[in-house]
Amino acid sequence: MRKQIGTFDAFDETMEKMRGEGILLIAGVPPNPMTIGWGTLGYVWSKPVFVILVRPNRYTFELIENVKDFTINVLPKGFNQETAICGTESGRDIDKVAKCNFDMKHGECSNAFYISQSVIHYECRIIHKNKVDPGTLEPSIIDTYYEQRDFHTIYYGEILGVFKT
C-alpha cells in the first residue's frame, strides 16, 4: 500500500540512495527509467522542487523535452543490477522496463509513470529549465565533467506529491 507523505520526509533516504547506486528518473512515453546521481531537493520560488540534470545525448532528454511531468523513483535494497542497467543502457536500444521487470503505474497526481516496486516516488512538474552555461561555470568543473562539451539541461520540477510504500 502506498501512502502520501510530507514533501521532504524521505529526504535522507533519497539522498543516500542518490549518492550510492542512484535513483531513477522517468519522463514521457514510452516510460524509460534512467539512473541519476545528481539532483537537489529544496525550495525555489517558494515551491518545493526536485532539480535534476540531463545530458543532451540521453534518450531521456528527447523524452523529457516533450512533456511537463517526471517521476523520481527510489528502489529498495536488492535492485542494484536494475539500477546499473538503467544507468548504462539506453532506451534507444532496449526496453529497460521489460528487461528489469518493472511494473509501471500511472502517476497519482501527474502525467508521468512510476515504478510500483519503488519504496519512495516523487511526482514533479517542470516549472523551469536552463542549460548549464559554460561561460559562468568554474573551469575545473568543465574540464572534469564536460570534456565533450555536452552540457546538462537543468530541470526544476515542482514536487506535486511524494509517496511511500
What is the H or E stretch that residue 83 is in? helix 80-88
What is the H or E stretch that residue 12 is in? helix 11-19
At its nearest, how many Å lie between ligand FMN and the CB of residue 13? 17
Task: Pick the closer one to ligand FMN by CB: 21 or 108.
Answer: 21
Closest alpha carbon to 51 in 144, 145, 126: 126
At its nearest, how many Å lie between ligand FMN and the CB of residue 103? 19
At its nearest, how many Å lie between ligand FMN and the CB of residue 88? 5
At its nearest, how many Å lie between ligand FMN and the CB of residue 153? 9
Task: Pick the closer one to ligand FMN by CB: 7 or 35.
Answer: 35
Closest alpha carbon to 50 in 116, 110, 92: 110
Point out which residues bind ligand FMN (CB under 6 A). Answer: 22, 32, 34-38, 53-55, 58-60, 87-92
CA distances from 93 to 4, 23, 89, 99, 104 (A): 35, 21, 7, 12, 19
Euclidean distance between CA atoms 9 and 78, whole angstroms? 22
Task: Pick the closer one to ligand FMN by CB: 32 or 118.
Answer: 32
Q: Which residue is nearest to ligand FMN (CB)?
A: 87
Task: Pick the closer one to ligand FMN by CB: 39 or 48.
Answer: 39
At its nearest, how many Å lie between ligand FMN and the CB of residue 126? 15
**98: alpha, beta or left? (left if phi > 0; alpha if psi -120 to 50):** alpha
Contact 53, 152 (CB under 8 A): yes
Task: Pick the closer one to ligand FMN by CB: 111 or 153.
Answer: 153
